[in-house]
Structure 1
Amino acid sequence: MTKPRTPLSDVLRFRYLGSHEIEELAELWMALHEQHTAIAPHLEDIVTSVSPEESWRRRRSQYLSWLSDPDTLAVLAERGGEPVGYAMVTIRENPKGSWDRGDRVAVVQTLSVPAEYSAYGVRSALLEEIRRQVGAMGVREIELTALATSSDDIHFFEQEGFRPFVTTMVCRIGGVGAHD
């Protein structure tokens, strides 16, 4: 008789990173960058993709800036000491407008879980950890973005309780595609 396999999410450990540990996210970020590039070929005429290394250089700089705010969370999920995903979450003030979303909103800037771990509940576990942490900070809403062509991601987020709120449209200025 074989022992039942323990789901990956049951043995996850979360570690909160400081700016001095940010390099630990490089490989996971570059894998996400490559995934995004592969699933969004419709954007090639609008945006110019950069190499994974250049993308990491830029994102690293952004992460360091965000981590200067003590409310920013860099959550690394590990299994057996190996990184299997991470989330970068910022907290922003929420201006009073047409919707009452609370004074502050958590923004998942990055949720990176390589495809080989997606069936093990790592994304769900990371989102649950984020909910727990930002809820303890008095934040009542979390927002995130997903590529429009990533129907699997969108379906996953809907299963996790997220709903579409706004749609961001992009276009290149001038030349092809400019209409009155």
Structure 2
Amino acid sequence: MSTRECSDGWHAVLRTIPVDEIASVKHLWLELTEYHWGCAPEVSALADPVDAETSWARRRAQYEGWSSESGWLLLGATVDGQLVAYAAARIVAAASSRSFGSTLGKLETLVVRSTHRGRGIGMLLSEHVERHWRTFDVSHGTVSIIARNSGAQRFYERFDAVEYMRTFYFPV
């Protein structure tokens, strides 16, 4: 557990969330899901959004499965005793035409409650995730964002992130 001061004088307490407490991030996942529904309306032409509970059940199952992997990290940030943000990260084998090393860090989720954005909490979580990856000799990380989420793009560019790949969905 570590405590860091946020940009506006608040204190955020960062702590690893154990697998038996995965459900504690549900409210944040649901907020992110709702945001994603609004960010990419064009995808609805291909597939309707799943309901919130189904989305959470699927993500929870992924977190539980990933939790047994070496390098898994579920990190929460609390302010005034309330969980207001979390990051879910893991380490995956690298298969690329670039020399990123044998493994890559993969940031699966980073969400900060809308009422707490802009205070440096996402930056604190991201910096902690990067330190975690370095303990596993990971030299590069990846994150996927919704194409129209310009705020997320600006956020990751502060970490010197560059766009490298794009994912397209299509009917078959």
Tell me the TM-score normalized by structure 2: 0.91
Q: Is the 8 A contact 2:10 2:79 kept in 1?
A: no
Match of 1:64 in 2: 64
Moved more, 6-15 or 58-67: 6-15
Partners of 1:170 and 1:70 in 2: CA distance: 30
Kindly tell me: are residues 166 and 112 of structure 1, through their superposed partners in 2, closer, same or farther at Cα, counting changes over 3 Å? same
Where in structure 2 are the equivalents of 1:106-125 lying within 5 Å?
106-125=105-124
In structure 1, what is the equivalent of residue 103 of structure 2?
A: 104
Return the offset for 1:22.
0.4
Q: Which amino acid aligns with 1:114?
A: R
Contact persistence 1:106–1:134 (CA under 8 A): yes
Q: How does 1:44-83 map to 2 (within 5 A)?
A: 44-83=44-83
* Matched letter for residue 67 of structure 1: S
Any conservation in 2 of the 1:7–1:120 contact (CA below 8 Å)? yes
**Structure label with greater radius of gyration:** 1
113-122 or 56-65, which deviates more = 113-122
Give the aligned residue type for 1:34. Answer: E
If each structure's strand is expressed as a fraction of its own residues, which one has the higher value?
2
- Structure-2 change in CA distance of 1:29 and 1:8 (3 Å): farther
CA contact (8 A) 1:105 1:141 kept: yes
Q: Kindly report the root-mean-square deviation, in angstroms, between the aligned alpha carbons of the 2 structures.
A: 1.7
1:9/1:121 contact within 8 Å kept: no
* 2-structure distance, mates of 1:54, 1:87: 20
Q: Give distance in 1, aligned partners of 2:66 and 2:91.
A: 9
| Amino acid corresponding to residue 107 of structure 2 in structure 1 | V
Question: How many residues are aligned here?
Answer: 168
1:146 maps to amino acid: I
- Give the Å deviation of 1:88: 0.6
CA 1:8–1:129: 2 relative to 1, 3 Å: farther
What are the Cα deviations for residues 97-119 of structure 1, in whole angstroms up to 9, with x where unaligned?
Answer: 42100111110011111222111
Q: What is the Cα deviation at residue 6 of structure 1?
A: 6.3
Structure 2 unmatched ranges of 5 or more = none
TM-score calculated relative to the size of structure 1? 0.87
1:156 matched residue in structure 2: 155
Shift of 1:160: 2.4
Answer whether contact 1:90 1:108 (CA < 8 A) is retained.
yes
Q: Which runs of 5+ in 1 are unaligned?
A: 174-180
Instruction: Kindly state the Cα deviation for residue 84 of structure 1 after the two structures are TM-superposed.
Output: 1.2
Q: Which residue of 2 aligns with 1:136?
A: 135
